[in-house]
Amino acid sequence: MELIEKLRAVKEKFEKINEQLSDPDIVNNQEKLIALSKERSELIEVVEAFDKYDMVLRNIEGNHEIIEKGEDKELAEMAESELAELKNEKEKLEEEIKYILIPKDPNDNKDVIVEVRAGTGGDEAGLFAFDLYRMYSRFAEVKGWKKEIIDISESGLGGIKEVVFSLNGQGVYGDLKFENGVHRVQRVPVTETNGRVHTSAATVVVMPEVEDVQIDIDPNELRIDVYRSGGAGGQNVNKVETAIRITHIPTGIVVQCQDERSQLKNRQKAMKVLRARLYDMKQKEQSDEIAAQRKSIVRSGDRSDKIRTYNFPQNRVTDHRIGLTLYNLSGIIEGDLSELIEQLKLADRTEKLNSNVEV
């Protein structure tokens, strides 16, 4: 009955919100109206599922009454035959509702800052880092997200040492949050003359963008350096000091931006990255505490683990956290990440469902 009580409480809350939304005082209060409308949209899926579930329960109860009375034998037989089907539907709806009731990650709809860095493997690691950057860029194009480069450092043979970029759009963090970690590649490098397969790595960090109010940064704890840009920038390069480097003294975090020709814009972008890194650090501390209590299937916060291997000779991608292997590396590296991401989301939901004893 605990599930029913929880659902009824949600339904009562939903109906109360509907009443409030018709209140003239709230209609004239734009901020309150937006907040209530958002809350209503988050509850409607649960309410609709509960209405179906409640109807099935009523039908089951009605069929039992017909069978127990036994006044009409033919009707009782029909009720008996319907009962098994209704009970199956009841079980399916219960599982569906349990999934819906799993608390949503409040960061899922936030925009993100993504950092891709070459790891071990020399020039090949730089080339792989570029491949990952291109993979996320193409996936972003498919999803209709807006990409903006914040900082990029190139390496030899067309690779990159690191790139920092933002992605803005619907549900960005919810789709990319499981990309955090060490990505490993196995392939024959372009510099290899004997055809031997080499292994190299790159790290990916995905951080939700945060508002100023969420992270309190004391300006006195910042050291800001201005220098001349060393990358592409036309006539502006090496002549005007527009690049910005910000050091957060308490944590030692250093961020920089030289993508824009305006010092002010570079500073704004760098501060955006700093806020995201500080927030990510805070989130990681919290997730480490939770991980000490129970081991998560999808360990989105633990970047020391190798999370995925891209094996080019076998056209294979393996995600080690959930034991998933897909033989579609050629598509995935070109941005076809949908199946991989959906499998990670499913594993995460299943793990949360199994551990959520209250539902």
- What string of H, E and C letters represents the secondary structure of the chain? CHHHHHHHHHHHHHHHHHHHHCCHHHHCCHHHHHHHHHHHHHHHHHHHHHHHHHHHHHHHHHHHHHHHHCCCHHHHHHHHHHHHHHHHHHHHHHHHHHHHHCCCCCCCCCCEEEEEEECCCCHHHHHHHHHHHHHHHHHHHHHCCEEEEEEEEECHHHCEEEEEEEEECCCHHHHHHHHCEEEEEEECCCCCCCCCCEEEEEEEEEEECCCHHHCCCCHHHEEEEEECCCCCCHHHCCCCCCEEEEEECCCCEEEEECCCCCHHHHHHHHHHHHHHHHHHHHHHHHHHHHHHHCCCCCCCCCCCCEEEEEECCCCEEEECCCCEEECCHHHHCCCCCHHHHHHHHHHHHHHHHHHCCCC
| pLDDT at residue 160 greater than cutoff 90 | yes
Q: What's the pTM value of the predicted model, to 2 decimals?
A: 0.66
Q: What is the CATH number of the domain that holds 16?
A: 1.20.58
Indicate whether 85 and 133 sit together in one domain: no
The residue with greater pLDDT, 30 or 239, is 30
Section 57-83 average pLDDT:
88
| Bigger pLDDT: 161 vs 45 | 161
- Highest-confidence segment of 120-134, 191-205, 299-313: 120-134
In a domain, 224, yes or no: yes
pLDDT at 317 over 80: yes
Mean pLDDT of 31-39: 87
The answer as to whether 106 is a domain residue is no
The answer on 173 and 139 residing in a single domain is: yes
Question: Which domain-ending residue is among 71, 101, 131?
Answer: 101
Domain membership of residue 303 (yes or no) is: yes
- The percent of residues above 90 in pLDDT, for the chain, comes to 49
Residue 86 belongs to some domain of the structure: yes
| Range of the structural domain that residue 8 is part of | 2-101
Mean pLDDT, residues 25-41: 87
Residues 64 and 206 in one domain: no
